[in-house]
Amino acid sequence: MEGHQVRALYDFTGEPGTSELSITAGEVLSVMRDNVGDGWCEGFNQNGKSGLFPAAYVQIIETPTSVPNAMISSQQSSGDYWDDDWDDDSEVGQTQAYIPQQQQQQQQQQHMLQLSQHHSVDYDLVSIQTIHSVIPERPIPNIPKKNNKFSTLIKSGEDSFLLGMKVANVPESEKIYIDESENGRHRWVSRGELYSCVVTSPKKESKLKGLKSFIVYQLTPTFNNIQVSRRYKHFDWLHERLEEKYCFIPIPPLPDKQISGRYEEQFIEHRRTQLQEFVDYVCRHPVLARSRVWEHFITCTDEKRWKAGKRQAEKDELLGVNYFNAIQCPETTLDVIKVEIQTDTFSRFISGLDPVVKNFMAMAVDQTKKNQVLYKREFQKIGQSFNALSHALEGDDSSRGRLTYALKVTGDAYNDIGKLYEEQPKFDWEPLADKFHIYKGIINSFPDVISIHKTAVQKRKDYEKLVSEHKMEPQQLRDLSHRTDVIARALLAEEMHFQTEQEIYLTQTMKTHLTEQISFYQKIVDKLREALNAYEE
Amino acid sequence: MEGHQVRALYDFTGEPGTSELSITAGEVLSVMRDNVGDGWCEGFNQNGKSGLFPAAYVQIIETPTSVPNAMISSQQSSGDYWDDDWDDDSEVGQTQAYIPQQQQQQQQQQHMLQLSQHHSVDYDLVSIQTIHSVIPERPIPNIPKKNNKFSTLIKSGEDSFLLGMKVANVPESEKIYIDESENGRHRWVSRGELYSCVVTSPKKESKLKGLKSFIVYQLTPTFNNIQVSRRYKHFDWLHERLEEKYCFIPIPPLPDKQISGRYEEQFIEHRRTQLQEFVDYVCRHPVLARSRVWEHFITCTDEKRWKAGKRQAEKDELLGVNYFNAIQCPETTLDVIKVEIQTDTFSRFISGLDPVVKNFMAMAVDQTKKNQVLYKREFQKIGQSFNALSHALEGDDSSRGRLTYALKVTGDAYNDIGKLYEEQPKFDWEPLADKFHIYKGIINSFPDVISIHKTAVQKRKDYEKLVSEHKMEPQQLRDLSHRTDVIARALLAEEMHFQTEQEIYLTQTMKTHLTEQISFYQKIVDKLREALNAYEE
C-alpha cells in the first residue's frame, strides 16, 4: 500500500516519546513506507504529522490518482536517498521530504524513459516487463517478504538472459570469473587481496538544528584505512542494490529494523556488531567484496562523488539476470545429470537446514532473554534470601559476626551471579544469534537462487522437446543449453562458497560461544568460591 | 473432622497406582486421618475401600454417634501403634484396623480410667483438664497446625507446676541439670558422652502376605553399634512422645508426610536423609539425647521389650509442665528485669527470623524444582538445537565430519548439563531445604516455648499484686517466683543451646551447599571444555 492513501479502521494511540503516530478510526493517512518491519507502516496524517502505525489498523483507499506499486517503488529507488529525511533512524521531527504523487509520476516517467534509452532492445511490451523485473516490487504488507524479486525474475526476467538478450558491453571491472577444478568443483575467482572492514564508533548526529537525529557508523576498510560514515539507511540502500544486482548470490540480511529504543546505547552497540557481521560476510565473498556499489559504499568520502556513484548504481542495468552476461566461465558442456543430482542434493540440504537454523536462532534469542530476565531474577531471589537471613541473624547476637558476614557475602555473590546472567548474553547468546541471523538469511535466500537454475533446466527441457518435434533449430537449444550451464556454474560456485564459508563460520562461531560460556560459568565458580571462603576462619 | 463421617461435595478421581481414593459427589466417607498433609484426608468409603482424598472436596456430617475429637485422638495415642495397619507408609491393600466408633469410645473410657488411677491428684474436673492437656488434640484441618498442645498447656496445665502440684518422685535418670556460668549464661548439662546415630539402608518390607508394604529404616547408634529397624510411623509415635514430654524444648519436625510416589527410590532415599537430620538434631541435644523414650527408640531390638517400653512411655506422667519438676538448677533468684530483657530480645529475634527462614526454605525448595524441571528442560532445548544442526549439516557433505561431530558433542554436552541440573539439587538445594526444614520447625516452635515463660511471668505479676493487696501470703509468691525462675532457666538454657547449635549448623550447611554448587558449576565448565575441544584439530 506504499504511496497509497489509507483509512484508519481503529483508533491507535502511539506511545509518547517514540515515533509512533496516534491515529483515529476513519482518518485518512498517506503511507510512505509499509515495510518498516513487524507489521508497522510509516506515513503521515492530514495535518502533516508523520510517524509509525500498525498496518493492520488501516485499509487501503483505491483512488484514481494512485500510481501502480512498481512505479512508486522505482521512484523511491531513484529518489535522492542521501538527502531524504525520512528513514528508519528518524526519531525526532516531522517528515518533510515526501514527494506529492503528481511529481512522483513525472519522475517515474522520466526514469522509465532513461531506462528505455539505455536499453539495447526496443521499447516494447516485452522490455517493459524486463524493466519491471529488475525493479523489484515492494512486498504487500502482512505477507512475509519471500524474496519476491526472484519470483518476478523467474517469471519474466530470466528469459531475457536465457533467450540471449545480451547486454552489449560488459566492462572488465564488472566481469565475474568462475574456475572449475579437475574434480569438477566450481568456485568464484577472487580478484585482488582479501580485506576486511571494521564498523566502529556509532555516534548520534543531528540535523535541521536538532530536529532530526540519527546514528552514524564509521567504516574503515583495511586496504586504505580511510574512514567513511554511513547511516543505517545507507546500508539499507546498499542492500537493495546488492539484492537487485546479484540474483545468483544470496545477500546477507541487514539487522532487523526496530521501532523503539533506538537510541539506547545497548541497542546501538548491538546494531554495530550486527552491521559488522553483514560487512564481514560481504568482505569474505569473492564477488560481493569486489562489487562496484560496495566499493563505493565503503570508500566514498566525498558527498558529491557519493551522490554521483549512487545515481550511477541506481541506473545500473547490469543487474538481475542480465548480470549472468558478466559471468566468465569454462566453455565446456556440463554433465546434465551430474549437475541435476548435485543441485537437487543441495536444494534438499538447504530445505532441511532452513527450519533447523531458524529454530537454533530462536533458541539463542530465547536464551538471551531468559538469561537477562528469568535467570537474573532467580539468582537475585537466592541472593535476597541469603541477605535477609544474614540481616535477621545479625539482630540478635554480635558474636555471630562471622556467620552473618559470610551469609551476606553469599547473598552478594548470588546477586552478582544474577548480574552476570544479565550481562553474559552479549558475549555468548547474542553474538550467536547475530551470526545465525546472517546464516539464516543466506539459507532463506538460497531456494530462489536455486530456482533460477531450475527454471532454466525446465526451459531447456521444453526446447529439447521442441527440437525433437522439429519445431526449433538445434542451434537454439545449444545456445540455451550453454546459457543454462552458465547459470548452473554460478549456482555451483555459490554453493561451494557457501559450504566453505559455513564450515569456517560455524566452527568459529561455536568456538567463540563455548569459550564465552566457559568463562561465564568459571566466573560463577569464582564468585561462589569467594563466598565459601567467607565461612572459613 | 477426624473420626467423623463426611459427605463428598464433588467428584474426585484418584490417580491410578497411588493411594488416592476416587470419590463421588454425595457419597459418605469415614475420615481416619485429616492431617496427612497438603490438604489431604485419609478415609474409607462405604464399600470399605480406603485411600486419600482432598479435604476441600468433603463436608463434615454431624451425627449423634460422633465422639469429640480429643477422645478419638487419645484413643489413637493409646492404641497399639506397633500393630496398626493404617499408617503413612501403607500403599497397598485395604485398611483393616479401623475401629468402629463404639469400640473407640469404650477404649477411650478405659484409657481415661487408667490415667486417673495413675494420677496423684483426685479425679476431678481440674485433673480432667490436666489429662486433656497432656493428650494433645489433633489439629482441625485447614487451620495451620500451630503447636496447639502448647496453647492447651498454657491455658491449664502450666498452673499445675506453677501452683506447686509436684510430682512426688523424680527418678535420677529423669533429672535434667542446668548450669549457670559466672556471666549468667545458662546451659543444659550433658550427661554421658556425645554420640551420633546413622540412619541407613531403607528397605521395603511387607506383611499380610504382601498385602501391606512399608519402608524400614535402620538406625545404628555409635555407642553400641547395634542396629534397630524403625518405620516412619515409629518416628511419628516417638515424635509425639517427645512433643508431649518436652514442652520447654522445641522438637525438630519429622519430614512431611507425603501422598504419592512413596515407593520411589529417590523418595525413600530422600526421606532417609531427612530422618537422619531429625536424628542428628536429637543426638546433639543434651536433654533429648538422654531421653528415656529416645534411648528406647534407638536401642530396643526385642519386640516384647519394645512393646513394654512403648506402653510405659505412653503412660509416662512426667511430661509437659510436670516435667519442670525434674529440672535441677541453681537456687539463686534471677534478676527479673535482666531475664525479661533477654527473653524479650530473643522472642523478637525468633519472630524476625521466622518469616525469613520460611522464605529461605521456600526458595531452596523452589530452586530444587526449577533445577529439576525448568533448567533441565532449557539445557535440553539448547542441546537439541545443537544436535539438530549437526544432523542437518551431516546430510550433505561428509567433509564436514569434524564440524558435525563437534556440534554433536556440544549438543550432548548441553544435554548432559541438563541432566546435571536435574541431579544436582540432591547435593545442594535439597539438603539445604532439609536443614532448613528442621531449623524452621525449631523456630516455629519457639514462640510457644517462650510463652510458657511469659505466662509464668504474668502469673507472678498477678501474685505480686495480690500480695501487695494482702490477699496472699508472701511465701506463696516466693514459691511461685522460684518456680518461674526454673521455667526461665530452662528457656535460657534452651536459647543458649539453640544459638550455639544454629551457628555451627548454619555454617556447616552453607559450606556444604556452596562446595556442592562450586562443584556443580565446575562440572558445567568441564562439559563445555570437552565440547570446545571437539572443534580443535
Which pLDDT does position B396 carry in this prediction?
54
Distance from CA of A429 to the nearest CA of B (A): 11
Tell me the average pLDDT across B51-59: 77
Yes or no, beta carbons of B521 and A524 under 8 Å apart: yes
Picking from A349, A386, A393, the nearest residue to B396 by CB comes out as A349
Q: Helix, strand or coil for residue B179? A: strand
**A195-330 and A4-60 share a CATH fold:** no
Query: Is some CB atom of chain B closer than 8 A to the CB atom of A491?
Result: no
Band of pLDDT at residue A10, cut at 50, 70 and 90 = confident
Residue B406 with chain A: CB contacts under 8 Å: 507, 510
Mutate to test the interface with A, among B346, B440, B535 (most CBs of A within 10 A): B535
Q: Average pLDDT, stretch B165-187?
A: 84
Instruction: Please judge whether B532 and A521 are an interchain contact, meaning their C-beta atoms are less than 8 angstroms apart.
Output: no
Q: Which pLDDT band holds residue A397 (cuts at 50, 70, 90)? A: low
Q: Could you write out the DSSP letters of every residue in A295-353?
A: HHHHH---HHHHHHHHHHHHH--S-GGGGGGGEE---SPP-HHHHHHHHHHHHHHHHHH
Least confident interval from A35-49, A374-388, B231-245? A35-49
Whether B352 shows a pLDDT value over 80: the answer reads: yes
Query: 10 Å Cβ neighbour count for B244?
Result: 23
- Asked if the model's pLDDT at residue A9 lies above 70, the reply is yes
Average pLDDT over residues B157-169: 65
Q: Do A403 and B531 touch (CB under 8 A)?
A: no
The better pLDDT of the pair A256, B239 is held by: B239
* Per-residue pLDDT reduced to its tens digit, A86-116: 344 433 333 333 333 444 444 444 444 443 3
Chain A: residue nearest B508 by CA? A535
Contact with chain A for residue B499, Cβ under 8 A: yes
Inter-residue contact A291 to A314 (CB < 8 Å): no
What is the DSSP code (8-state) at residue A426? G
The answer to whether A423 contacts chain B (CB < 8 Å) is: no
> What is the CATH number that goes with domain A341-534?
1.20.1270.60
Give the least confident one: A192-206, A463-477, B29-43.
B29-43
- pLDDT, tens digit (0-9, with 9 covering 90-100), for A105-156: 444 444 444 433 343 333 223 333 333 333 333 333 333 333 444 444 444 4
Identity of the residue in A346, A382, A406 whose CB atom sits nearest the CB atom of B363? A382
Q: Does B507 contact chain A (CB < 8 Å)? A: yes
Query: Against a cut of 0.80, is the pTM above it?
Result: no
A342: contact with B, CB 8 A cutoff: no
Q: What does the pLDDT read at residue B486?
A: 93
Count of Cβ atoms closer than 10 Å to residue B275 Cβ = 20
3-state helix vs strand vs coil in chain A, percent to 5: 60, 10, 30
Question: Does residue A13 sit at the B interface (CB-CB below 8 Å)?
Answer: no
Which of A410, A518, A527 best probes binding to B when mutated, by most B CB atoms within 10 angstroms?
A518
Do A252 and A442 meet the contact criterion of CB atoms below 8 Å apart? Answer: yes
Using a CB-CB cut-off of 8 Å, the residues of chain B touching A366 are: 381
> What mean pLDDT is predicted for residues A486-500?
94
Is the pLDDT at A281 greater than 70? The verdict is yes
Q: Is A228 helix (H, G, I), strand (E, B) or coil?
A: strand
Say which residue, A510 or B261, is predicted with more confidence. Answer: A510
Chain B from 201 to 230: CB within 8 A of any A CB: none
pLDDT of A107: 44
Instruction: Check residues B189 and A104 and name the one with the higher pLDDT.
Output: B189
pLDDT band at B384 (very low <50, low <70, confident <90, very high): very high
Mean pLDDT across B320-324: 83
Which residues from chain A sit within 8 angstroms of residue B428, using beta carbons? none
Burial class (CB in 10 A: 0-12, 13-18, 19+), A17: exposed
- Tell me the residues of chain B between 362 and 381 that have a Cβ less than 8 Å away from chain A: 363-364, 366-367, 370, 378, 381
Per-residue pLDDT band for B428 (boundaries 50, 70, 90) equals very high
- Compute the average pLDDT of residues A318-345: 88
| pLDDT for position B297 | 95
Place of cell 466408633: B101
Position B385 pLDDT exceeds 90: yes
Which CATH architecture does the domain made up of B4-60 adopt? Roll (2.30)
For A451-484, how does the pLDDT look when each residue is reduced to its tens digit (9 = 90+)? 999 999 998 999 999 999 999 999 989 989 999 9
Find, among A422, A325, A309, the residue nearest to A371 by Cα.
A422
Residue A522 identity (one-letter amino acid)? Q
**Is B393 at the interface with chain A, CB within 8 A?**
yes
Task: Give the gap in angstroms from C-alpha A427 to the nearest C-alpha of chain B.
Answer: 15
Q: Which residues of B touch A502 (CB under 8 A)?
A: 393
10 Å CB burial of residue B92 (0-12, 13-18, 19+) is middle
Q: Per-residue pLDDT averaged across B3-21, rounded?
A: 75
- Using CB atoms, pick whichever of B395, B397, B528 lies closest to residue A518: B528
What is the tally of helices (H) and strands (E) in chain B? 14, 11
Chain-centroid distance of CA B140 in Å reads: 18
Q: Give the one of A366, A515, A532 whose C-beta lies nearest to B514's C-beta.
A: A532
- Three-state DSSP at A244 gives helix
pLDDT digits (tens, 9 = 90+) for A230-272: 999 999 999 999 998 899 999 999 998 875 555 677 888 889 9
> Looking at the predicted structure, is the pLDDT value of residue B296 above 90?
yes
User: Average pLDDT, stretch A393-404?
Assistant: 74
Lowest mean pLDDT among A317-326, A403-412, B301-310: A317-326
Residue B241 has pLDDT above 80, yes or no: yes
- Shortest CA gap A400–chain B (Å): 7
Comparing A102-116, A160-174, A300-314, B30-44, which segment has the lowest mean pLDDT?
Answer: A102-116
CA distance linking residue B344 with residue B450, whole number of Å: 9
Q: What number of CA atoms fall less than 13 Å from residue B415's CA on the CB side?
A: 12
| Confidence check: pLDDT of A158 > 60 | no
User: Which residues of B are less than 8 Å from A359 in CB distance?
Assistant: 385, 388
Structural domain boundaries in chain A: 4-60, 195-330, 341-534
| Residue B79: pLDDT over 70 | no
Q: What is the ipTM of this complex?
A: 0.73
Is the pLDDT score of B243 beyond 50? yes
pLDDT band at B226 (very low <50, low <70, confident <90, very high): very high
* A55 inside 8 A of chain B by CB: no
Distance from CA of B196 to the nearest CA of A (A): 25
State whether A503 and B403 contact (CB < 8 Å).
yes
> Across the interface, which of A370, A400, A410 has its CB nearest the CB of B503?
A400
Query: Inter-chain contact A528–B506, Cβ cutoff 8 Å?
Result: no
Nearest CA in chain A to B515: A532
Test B503 with A403 for CB contact under 8 angstroms: yes
Q: What fold is seen in the domain A195-330?
A: PX Domain (3.30.1520)
Between residues B143 and B152, the one the model is more confident about: B152
Examine the pLDDT at B92 and tell me if it is beyond 50: no
State residue A388's pLDDT score: 94
CB A81 within 8 A of CB A91: no
CA distance A425 to chain B (A): 14
Closest chain A residue to B516, measured at CA:
A528
B407 CB near a chain A CB, below 8 Å? yes
Q: A37 pLDDT band (50/70/90 cuts)?
A: low
Distance from CA of B304 to the nearest CA of A (A): 47
Contacts of A393 in chain B (CB under 8 A): 353, 502, 506
B378 contacts A370? CB cut-off 8 A = yes
